[in-house]
């Protein structure tokens, strides 16, 4: 099996895999599961530095984005969709699907959101109930300053939905100005895909409880979870093996005080290496330390680079999609994949790949990466 160096799913530790393989309780009938679920949710909130309640839902990261929109948005609600990337823009579809009216605030896809400009825009345009923001927009490697953006939105009492699926535990963020924060199991958390995390403020809960219309979904309905602990009841049988794996993955993060610093060190060294050999990073600003994105150089294709790295070196990196399809290469260094050894091997594989494809670099990616660590 190849080494996963993609921006999700990431490598998964043997400990997490083993936890998922164990015999399990009946999560519907055995009330001790409710206790374990609650403890894990509280552990996640604590690690994120917030008192807001965490819920874990059975479904891939996209479910968290959809559940946030389905639960908060009512017909004709005005929603500001902050868009400087593919996931940013994608929120508009969920807004429309649940009857809201999206207004796109579109900015340059190569630059992090300029908060001063956003503040100027908000002076004239702030009649929104909700705003959606992406912390790490993974297809381009974008990182937005969510702390400053949510602060600007809170001046106008706008509820905030933040997609931190690819950045949670790799890039710090302050959760207290976020009404629904979304995370996923298969990125920095380093468990297999299958679980989504929603962290919900009291204000979001009140808003959801006071809706005039019912939520037009069952599976993406956060309200049905609000009393799970009192009622010892979940709306559907919880995926207990996935949750047992997540528990071990979260414990590993808890016991890894270096995790944010390591992502930063590896992200910075990777970008320096890319630039030093004459390749071009896709972004001008807003670099997410969990993924490195560079342009496909002249004379080759994304598919040739990815296939050569995979077939000759047993390492999987990836391209991108939508407006970036074929244009860029992405190396994921998230969670368990964010380690010096695997990244050095990936860089060495890229050196050999470019040589084989006849692309001349001004030096070695691997050497430069190691020197900058």
Ligand X SMILES: *Cc1c(COP(=O)(O)O)cnc(C)c1O
**Binding interface with ligand X (CB under 6 A):** 8, 60-62, 87, 134, 136-138, 163, 165-166, 184, 187
Cβ nearer to ligand X, comparing 41 with 188: 188
CB atoms within 10 A of CB 77: 18
Contact 160, 153 (CB under 8 A): yes
Cβ nearer to ligand X, comparing 163 with 351: 163
Cβ nearer to ligand X, comparing 4 with 34: 4
The alpha carbon of 347 is separated from its chain's Cα centroid by a whole number of angstroms, namely 23
Q: CB of 166: closest distance to ligand X in angstroms?
A: 3
Q: CB of 358: closest distance to ligand X in angstroms?
A: 32
State how far the Cα of 186 lies from the Cα of 235, in Å rounded to an integer. 23
Bridge partners, 329 (sequence order)? 294
Cβ nearer to ligand X, comparing 6 with 353: 6
Q: CB of 170: closest distance to ligand X in angstroms?
A: 11
Q: CB of 185: closest distance to ligand X in angstroms?
A: 10
Q: CB of 354: closest distance to ligand X in angstroms?
A: 26
Cβ nearer to ligand X, comparing 60 with 83: 60
Cβ nearer to ligand X, comparing 166 with 364: 166
CA dist list (Å): 11 to 4, 6, 324 = 6, 9, 24
Q: Return all residues near 22 (Cβ < 8 A) that are at least 6 apart.
A: 241, 244
- Quickly tell me which residue has 């001004």 as its tokens: 362
State how far the Cα of 230 lies from the Cα of 216, in Å rounded to an integer. 24
State how far the Cα of 370 lies from the Cα of 360, in Å rounded to an integer. 20
State how far the Cα of 253 lies from the Cα of 20, in Å rounded to an integer. 17
Q: CB of 352: closest distance to ligand X in angstroms?
A: 28
């Amino acid at each position: 099996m190849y080494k996963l160096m993609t921006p999700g799913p990431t490598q998964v530790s043997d400990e997490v895999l083993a936890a998922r393989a164990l015999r399990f309780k009946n999560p519907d009938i055995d009330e001790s599961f409710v206790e374990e679920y609650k403890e894990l949710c509280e552990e996640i909130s604590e690690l994120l530095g917030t008192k807001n309640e965490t819920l874990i839902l059975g479904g891939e990261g996209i479910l968290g984005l959809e559940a946030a929109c389905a639960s908060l948005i009512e017909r004709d609600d005005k929603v500001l969709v902050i868009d400087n990337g593919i996931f940013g823009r994608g929120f508009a579809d969920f807004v429309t699907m649940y009857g809201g009216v999206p207004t796109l605030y579109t900015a340059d896809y190569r630059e992090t959101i300029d908060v001063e400009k956003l503040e100027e825009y908000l002076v004239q345009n702030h009649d929104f109930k909700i705003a959606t923001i992406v912390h790490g927009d993974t297809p381009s490697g974008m990182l937005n300053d969510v702390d400053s953006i949510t602060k600007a939105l809170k001046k106008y009492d706008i509820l905030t939905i933040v997609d931190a699926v690819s950045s949670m535990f790799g890039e710090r963020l302050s959760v207290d100005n976020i009404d629904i924060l979304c995370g996923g199991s298969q990125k920095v958390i380093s468990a297999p895909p299958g679980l989504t995390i929603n962290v919900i403020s009291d204000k979001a809960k009140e808003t959801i409880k006071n809706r005039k219309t019912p939520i037009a979904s069952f599976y993406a309905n956060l309200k049905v979870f609000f009393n799970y602990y009192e009622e010892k009841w979940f709306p559907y049988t919880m995926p207990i093996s996935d949750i047992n794996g997540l528990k071990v993955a979260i414990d590993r993060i808890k016991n890894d005080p270096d995790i944010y610093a390591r992502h930063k060190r590896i992200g910075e060294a990777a970008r320096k290496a890319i630039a030093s050999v004459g390749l071009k990073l896709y972004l001008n600003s807003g670099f997410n330390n969990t993924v490195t994105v560079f342009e496909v150089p002249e004379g080759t294709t994304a598919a040739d680079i990815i296939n050569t790295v995979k077939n000759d070196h047993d390492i999987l990196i990836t391209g991108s999609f939508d407006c970036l399809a074929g244009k860029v290469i992405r190396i994921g260094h998230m969670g368990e994949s964010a380690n010096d050894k695997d990244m050095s091997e990936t860089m060495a594989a890229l050196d050999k790949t470019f040589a084989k494809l006849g692309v001349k670099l001004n030096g070695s990616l691997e050497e430069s990466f190691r020197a900058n660590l």
